[in-house]
Amino acid sequence: MTDYPRPPFPEQPQAVPGSQQKMDPTPDCGEQSYKGSGRLAGKVALITGGDSGIGRAVAIAYAREGADVAIGYLDEHEDAKETARWVEEAGRKVLLLPGDIAQRQVCLDLVSKTVEAFGRIDILVNNAAFQMSHPTFEEITDEEWLRTFDTNITAMFRICQAALPHMRAGSSIINTSSVNSDMPKPTLLPYATTKGAIANFSAGLAQLLGEKGIRVNSVAPGPIWTPLIPSTMPPEEVSEFGGSVPLGRPGQPVELAPVYVMLASDEGSYISGARIAVTGGKPIL
């Protein structure tokens, strides 16, 4: 199915970090469409930001491909429970791990609790992110700048470092970057800056971990219809969200899931240090 919703979208302001259940139209995370084929059978995945949006789509896909899933999320408990339900319906185990990854101990606990429950980590997906939109540079506060970096890139460093002793050769780390890593949107300056850092962190870490047989890649989504959009962007941008890319619409979370599956699976065994664009035609060169 490719007949996904196109702008304009109805006005739907939300508080940060947003709720998927309140979005109109509801994002498609593959609940009814993704079909697995055992490509991740027996693996264990830790996914941050797994309660909704891209993280939910990845969790559903991974479960249907045969993986058990630990889901880190902030405090969107209802969204997280819904994701967990889909994982369990796929016949896999799920672990819900709420907490603010801007805090170092939360990052360490995500890893230790996943290992305690499942014994190891085969796939690490660093997907959680924070963003706010600002029309001027002057209104970005020091506190918000630090929060954005602590959530988006410092947490990634901490989680990767904590997870590494529990990962073996053949494991995969997948970090969510953005089209903003290549073409930064000025009104999302702190967020865009961290996404550039993620692209570089992933490429460098791939080189450091190659001798261990652990692959590291990043995915660069374009405009994807997730709770971050109505909760952090002005109404006029939400209304026309995704309309400016060549395909003329925002992507749905399910449209990213196959890339995360491929990078996590043995089919991606020689892909490391890559940044894969899923942008609706907006080029990343």
Question: Is 191 considered catalytic here?
Answer: yes
On whether the CB atoms of residues 39 and 65 are closer than 8 A, the answer is yes
Distance from C-alpha of 165 to C-alpha of 160, rounded to nearest angstrom: 9
Distance from C-alpha of 285 to C-alpha of 282, rounded to nearest angstrom: 10
On whether the CB atoms of residues 280 and 221 are closer than 8 A, the answer is no
Of 34, 62, 73, 191, the active-site residue reads 191
Q: What is the 3-state secondary structure (H, E, C) of 2-42?
A: CCCCCCCCCCCCCCCCCCHHHCCCCCCCCCCCCCCCCCCCC
Encoded tokens for 4: 């996904």
**Hey, what's the torsion of the CAs at 13, 18, 21, 23, to 10 degrees?**
40
Distance from C-alpha of 28 to C-alpha of 278, rounded to nearest angstrom: 16
Q: What are the catalytic residues?
A: 191
